[in-house]
Amino acid sequence: MQCAPASAVLATKLSKASRAQRWEVDEELDWPASIDDDAWCTSPELVSIAGTDLWASLDEPTRVRVARFEAGNFFSLTLQGERPLVAGMSDLLYSTRISPEATEYIHHFIDEENKHMAMFGRFCRTYIGKVYPEKKVNLPRRYASGERIVAMFCKIMVVEEVGDYYNVLMQADTRLPRIVREIHRVHHRDESRHIGFGRSLMRELWATYASGWSVAERAGFQAWLANYMKSSWGDFYNPSVYRDAGLDRGPDGVDPYALRREAIESPQAVELRARASRRLIGFFLREGLLEEAPSM
């Protein structure tokens, strides 16, 4: 008797958990009509410009205003990151490349991601006034056998695991309004299952496909993955956020793009990116998807 792959066994358990924790956006969350102007919507330590000279010079009302637009950017990033991944996961349904158990769980995965996008979109439209657009440009490239599906799951892991670092911290931050903490809590609850599934399936996909790649194909994939992780972090530093918060206005206004460069290079930001990426980079190194840890 042939044993089911580890991802199939895990998928069965995760499907059961998803059924037990099924939820709806309007029922799970209590949406207030507005959020007080003096309420932090992002933990101040996690604001992208924390650690810059400008941040140190701002008064608290201005910091709070920046933190609100930062929340909009973070939720928009997650929404925009999950949108193409849902399409990619849909393409896997009933594929011979994955088990029937994994197929069943992918139905739950897609359902939960659709709810996440609705949740993030509602927050952004209601309290920020917009969803920040995606800025990544997908350039056409040739794929080795199986590389496309491996790359897709890498993108899923980057979006989910980096985002979950923020979820864990902000779901417990009592300085934030209840609705913000609840969004982070609900997202973390679902993403903990998605992350476990993604890691298990990634091990099997990597073992199946990468063994057939040439040295050059493997090196090309590893370079792509390192660059994708770096570019994903770049989206956290959004000049539109700084403009929307009014940091470019008045006699002391700053260039949003110069501020972005300063924020990215600040020691506090470098350390934050390293902490938030550490577990995911460790997984990629252990499994051979990366040969060395990229600088974030």
In tens digits, the chain (296 residues) has pLDDT values of 334 677 889 999 999 999 999 999 999 999 999 999 999 999 999 999 999 999 999 999 999 999 999 999 999 999 998 988 888 888 888 887 788 898 999 999 999 999 999 999 999 999 999 999 987 666 677 899 999 999 989 998 999 999 999 999 999 999 999 999 999 999 999 999 999 999 998 999 999 999 999 999 999 999 999 999 999 999 999 999 999 999 999 888 999 999 999 999 999 999 999 999 999 999 999 999 999 999 88
Containing structural domain, residue 72? 6-31+59-287
pLDDT digits (tens, 9 = 90+) for 229-287: 999 999 999 999 999 999 999 888 999 999 999 999 999 999 999 999 999 999 999 99
Whether 116 is covered by a domain: the verdict is yes
Whether 49 is covered by a domain: the verdict is no
Whether 1 is covered by a domain: the verdict is no
pLDDT digits (tens, 9 = 90+) for 31-50: 999 999 999 999 999 999 99
Q: How far is CA 66 from the centre of its chain?
A: 20
CATH code of residue 98: 1.10.620
Provide the number of structural domains found in the chain: 1
The residue type of 235 is D
Whether 233 is covered by a domain: the verdict is yes
Query: CA–CA separation, 106 vs 211, rounded Å?
Result: 26
Whether 44 is covered by a domain: the verdict is no
Whether 43 is covered by a domain: the verdict is no
Whether 40 is covered by a domain: the verdict is no
The residue type of 48 is S
Cut 0.95: pTM above it: no
Whether 295 is covered by a domain: the verdict is no
Nearest by Cα to 166 from 236, 65, 227: 236
Q: CA-CA distances (angstroms) from residue 182 to 22, 124, 296?
A: 15, 15, 29
